[in-house]
Amino acid sequence: MKKDQSKRLQQQIDAINSLVLHQIKPSMQRIAIMDYLITHRTHPSADEIYEKLSIGMPTLSKTTVYNTLKLFASNGAAQMITIDEHQVNFDADTSTHAHFLCKQCGKIYDLSLPELATMPDMQKIEGHLVKEISYFYKGICKDCLAKGTKDSNTN
């Protein structure tokens, strides 16, 4: 179990590095939340993060999770994803990349669309100063297509 221990330690360090890099003073909670974001690339919601972390950290407050995620977002340490109209999801990967939401299972996938990379951030478009870019796709994911054979009409 030595491996697990040292791996977890390295993850913590990665989390702290990301925080410091984005001018966020590390704290128990902030490290835990950033660590969760880094090790779970499934674009979790605030509630999911709270539920999972509060198991090993019973005093964690949901408010702290919300505040912390908002702090991360405004400092560029994480990105807010508003692809789902019901809740906001978060991503430690702040690079401009596209997301796909499966309407059936709800999972959010990363998409690497090379043609999108052509458009640089932080520029003006039609006179507006662009600070954030989001590319969202919705439909039925690979896995759900494989399972259910219904609705396979639209090729």
Partner DNA sequence: TTCATATTTGTAATGATTACATTTTTATAT
Partner DNA sequence: ATATAAAAATGTAATCATTACAAATATGAA
Residues in touch with DNA (CB under 7 A) = 25, 27-30, 45-47, 57, 59-64, 66-68, 70, 85-88
- Residue 93 CB neighbour total at 10 angstroms: 13
Backbone angles phi, psi at 95, to 5 degrees: -70, 155
Count of residues that interact with its own copies, criterion CB under 8 A: 37
Nearer to its own copies, 27 or 82 (CB): 82
8 A C-beta contact, residue 61 and residue 68: no
Nearer to its own copies, 61 or 82 (CB): 82
Helix (H) or strand (E) holding 80: strand 79-81
8 A C-beta contact, residue 52 and residue 42: no
Interface residue list for its own copies (CB under 8 A) = 80, 82-85, 88, 100, 102-103, 109, 111-113, 115, 118-119, 122, 125-142, 145, 154
Per CB under 5 A, residues contacting Mn ion are 91, 93, 110
